[in-house]
Chains A and B, each alone.
Chain A
């Protein structure tokens, strides 16, 4: 039986290659990404944890089925996030519920990170609680919310976000800038109320 320790020093690309030869190595890929992908699904959806875990399972099955499609010029993490994003969106389209950011257990300090991470609203950092930020984020359009989640909660750079959402780099930059402004406006609106 394979242990996670056996794969620690292996790169994602090596693990993809090995998984194609021996299914057991896929265990390492699952172990490596299981937690981050589950959090990502929870962050962009309104699904309860059990449903998110079902989506997670679908994600890994899809990854395994399509291992030969993986393009080495892409980061494996971007590819798996893309699949997770598409699976989550399809799942919520099926039940026609708009995804809403539901905080995970570790989420509160991550929401604080949105404010402090880049100079969105540095002045808000001290004034607003994670709760307020979360509420405002939930009210944003899907396209703005998903870039903010990827940029500030998943800590992805522009290139990775572009690869995950399959949008040009310029569009991502514009979306992030607009999303920051929208978030700031939403916070101000809530403040007035």
Chain B
């Protein structure tokens, strides 16, 4: 008889060691997969919000605000979501590596596949409008979180720099209209010469952004370009129940993809 083997068996008997139940290992395996999936989901939500922020911001107005592109980028960078995305990606990677076969996949392939999955999921979340809701909700509930809307309000409340935004309250001749801006000031916007961007719906109640300059006549603004307030990147919000939205719903125009590939929203 083998002494060493007997010694080990004796030790096992003395310490009353028993094989751990199969369930413990199964639960551990499932838990790792669940955590991995959860990290991917949160990462995808963060990616969705990043896509929304990138898409919803006007990247070409830094010149009007008298800032350099890099300063403008520094202000608008979604740091919070980039940190969340990085943390979740790391957690997903770590969890996957701890699955039974996790070590077999090359690190670079794993990173590439993860980025691809998170991007696709993130894009889907963005396209169905969840990203916008998250961004808004965080702006309302999380202190120090400045959402896209808040950035837009501060950037587009600069008539002296040629940027105003607000709601159309009355239509005039052609594309001239009256607008109440974000600081409740009324403007007579001369828009006949303006370039109308895709997605602008020149109707009372519509929220628009206007690039141009203050006229010598008081409260008159000469528009060079008119843009829709939203990026037009989420599906119609059925809960809004605005007249336009209902009309759009009746016309079965709840939203669709416009020629430049973006999701068009008729109910902003």
Q: Chain A: residues with CB nearer than 8 A to chain B? A: 1, 4, 19-20, 23-24, 26-27, 30-31, 34, 53, 56-57, 60-61, 64-69, 71, 162, 166-171
Contact = CB atoms under 8 A, between A and B. Distances in A.
A37 B104 CA distance: 24
Contact of B103 (A20, A27, A31, A168): A168
B243 to A, nearest CB: 60
Interface stretch (B13-21, B140-148, B192-200, B248-256): B13-21
A23 B15 CA distance: 14
Interface of B: 1-2, 4-9, 11-13, 15, 17-22, 24-25, 100, 103-107
A149 B7 CA distance: 28
A66 B19 contact: yes
A57 B11 contact: yes
Nearest to B13: A23
B2 A31 contact: yes
Contacts of B7: 57
Contacts of B107: 168
Contacts of B106: 168, 170-171
A56 B20 CA distance: 20
Interface SS of chain A = helix
Given A65-B19, A66-B19, 6 more contacts: A20-B19, A30-B4, A30-B8, A65-B18, A162-B104, A168-B104
Contacts of A24: 9
Contacts of A53: 4
7 contacts: A23-B13, A27-B2, A30-B5, A53-B4, A61-B11, A67-B19, A162-B103
A4 B2 CA distance: 9
A43 to B, nearest CB: 18
A167 B103 contact: yes
A66 to B, nearest CB: 6
Contacts of A56: 4
Contacts of B5: 27, 30-31, 34
Nearest to A20: B19
Contact of B1 (A1, A19, A162, A169): A1
Given A166-B103, A170-B106, A61 B8 contact: yes
Given A1-B1, A26-B9, A26-B12, A71 B19 contact: no
A64 B17 contact: yes
Contacts of B2: 4, 27, 30-31, 34
Contacts of B4: 30, 34, 53, 56
Q: What 5 A-B pairs come out closest when comparing CB atoms?
A: A166-B103, A30-B5, A68-B22, A67-B19, A69-B25
B8 A57 contact: yes
Given A1-B1, A30-B5, A34-B2, A68 B25 contact: yes
